[in-house]
Amino acid sequence: MSIFEYNKEEEEKKLRKAEYEAGEKSGIRNTARHLLELNLLSLENISRATGLSIDELKKLQQ
């Protein structure tokens, strides 16, 4: 098999993985946004729970 041959199945797997990861990140950001709106947890605790940095959370607050 040549390195120039197109592997449709492999490319579809890569695309599904990228789409899954994008959806996962979107869900985490939405959860963080809701937690910020509730104003019950500190930025540090939301960061620990979501894996987002404090800077990312501050941007979501705006």
Burial (CB < 10 A; 0-12, 13-18, 19+), residue 31, is middle
Q: Would you kindly state where each structural domain of the chain is located, as residue ranges?
A: 8-61
User: Are 44 and 54 spatial neighbours (Cβ–Cβ below 8 Å)?
Assistant: yes
- C-alpha 27: how far from chain center: 7
Query: What six digits make up the tokens of 57?
Result: 């959370």
- Residue 51's pLDDT is 96
pTM: 0.75
What span, in angstroms and rounded, lies between the C-alpha atoms of 12 and 26? 21
Reported confidence tier of residue 6, pLDDT bands at 50, 70, 90 = confident
pLDDT in tens, 14-51: 999 999 999 999 999 999 999 999 999 999 999 999 99
- Residue 61's pLDDT is 92
Reported confidence tier of residue 4, pLDDT bands at 50, 70, 90 = low
